[in-house]
A and B are shown apart, each in its own frame.
Chain A
């Protein structure tokens, strides 16, 4: 009987914990990027960079002074082709795939190239 009571109490506590876990919590704190230039990549291959002015938990973003880069078949990854100035834009969180700071990145030699052994 005491075990059943204890089980009931444990079940109740478990339900409360589940409700608390369902609250929306962002795994990424974007407030540290406010007023900084960030690079955003979208589904469909578009890239854009701009100053982050605002955001919401659904990852919709407000970027200012936005520059958009588009990829072509012959472009591969030449970002300088086809750039457009877009000014103040709202980016849909549903199509954002990557967010990173614009600076603080450098190209490194390919670490995955393996030596061929005889």
Chain B
């Protein structure tokens, strides 16, 4: 990958930054008006994420929706920002 990508190796890779956040609380913004806040346990190449102690927010009606404990697997298809 380093052979055909002319990127500067000393810059910050997005997936490296996500990796640094494992164990921290993170805020995930979906393509729709929904956001998820939780503790990041892990992620994969497709950026599907496993979160814990999760709170789900709907942005437009401005209300906290469901507080879900235990663990969830969040499908990476709809994630816009982390």
Q: How far is the CB of B60 from chain A (nearest CB, A)?
A: 8
A43 B14 Cβ-Cβ under 8 A: no
Asked whether B79 is an interface residue with its Cβ less than 8 Å from the other chain, the reply is yes
Inter-chain contact B47/A92, CB cutoff 8 Å: yes
Whether, in the assembled complex, B76 has its beta carbon less than 8 Å from a beta carbon of chain A, the answer is: yes
Q: Which residues of A contact B4 (CB under 8 A)?
A: 23-25
Q: Does A29 contact B (CB under 8 A)?
A: yes
Pick from A46, A54, A56, A57: contact of B80, CB under 8 Å: A46
Contacts A24-B5, A55-B7, A95-B31 given; does A88 touch B17 at CB 8 Å: yes
Most buried by A among B6, B14, B17: B14
- B22: chain A residues at CB < 8 Å are none
Contact, CB under 8 Å: A90 / B7? no
A interface bracket (residues with beta carbon within 8 Å of B): 20 to 34
A29:B47 contact, CB within 8 angstroms: no
- The residue in B31, B76, B77 that gathers the most chain A C-beta atoms within 10 A of its C-beta is B31
Contact with A along B19-62 (1 / 0, CB 8 A): 00000000001011100000000000001000000000001000
Contact B15 A29 (CB under 8 A): no
> Which B positions have Cβ atoms within 8 angstroms of A?
1, 4-8, 11-18, 29, 31-33, 47, 59, 76-77, 79-82
Given contacts A31-B7, A46-B31, A95-B80, 5 further A-B contacts (CB under 8 A): A31-B6, A53-B11, A54-B14, A54-B17, A56-B14
12 residue pairs bridging A and B, Cβ less than 8 Å apart: A24-B1, A31-B6, A34-B11, A42-B31, A54-B11, A54-B17, A57-B1, A60-B14, A62-B14, A89-B81, A92-B76, A95-B31
Residues in A lying within 8 Å of B, measured CB to CB: 23-26, 29-31, 34, 42-44, 46, 48, 53-57, 60-62, 66, 68, 70, 86, 88-95
